[in-house]
Amino acid sequence: MKVTEHLERATDPFITFEIIPPTRGGKLSNLLGLIEDLMAHRPPFIDITSHAAEVVYEEVATGYEKRIKRKRPGTLGVCALVQNKFNIDAVPHILCEGFTRQETEDFLIELRYLEIDNVLAIRGDSSGYEKRLEHGRSRNVYASDLITQIAEMNKGVYLEELLDASPTEFCIGAAGYPEKHFEAPNLKADVARVKQKVDAGAEYIVTQMFFDNGYYFDFVDECRRQGIVVPIIPGIKILASQSQVVSIPRTFHCEVPAELADEVMNADESFASDIGVEWATRQTRDLLERGVPSVHFYVMQSARLVNGVLANLDV
What is the pLDDT, as a whole number, of residue 28? 87
Strand, helix or coil at 161?
coil
**Structural domain total, the chain:** 1
Segments forming the whole domain that contains residue 211: 3-313
**pTM of the predicted protein model:** 0.93
Task: Identify which has the larger pLDDT, 136 or 172.
Answer: 172
- pLDDT tens for residues 236-284? 999 999 999 999 999 999 999 999 999 999 999 999 999 999 999 999 9
Extended strands (E) in 270-314: 294-300
What is the DSSP code string of 211-240? Answer: S-HHHHHHHHHHHHHTT--S-EEEEE----
**Is 284:313 a contact under the CB 8 Å cutoff?**
yes
Range from 68-77, 87-96, 146-155, 297-306 carrying the lowest mean pLDDT: 68-77
What is the CATH classification number for the domain harbouring 145?
Answer: 3.20.20.220
Residue 32 has φ and ψ, to the nearest 5°, of: -60, -40
Pairing of strands 232-236, 171-176: unpaired
Give strand pairing partners of 45: 89
- pLDDT tens for residues 1-48? 999 999 999 999 999 999 999 988 888 888 999 999 999 999 999 999
Per-residue pLDDT at 162 exceeds 90: no
**Is 118:171 a contact under the CB 8 Å cutoff?**
yes
The average pLDDT across 136-148 equals 93
The average pLDDT across 214-235 equals 98
> How many angstroms separate the CA atoms of 272 and 57, rounded?
33
The average pLDDT across 82-104 equals 95
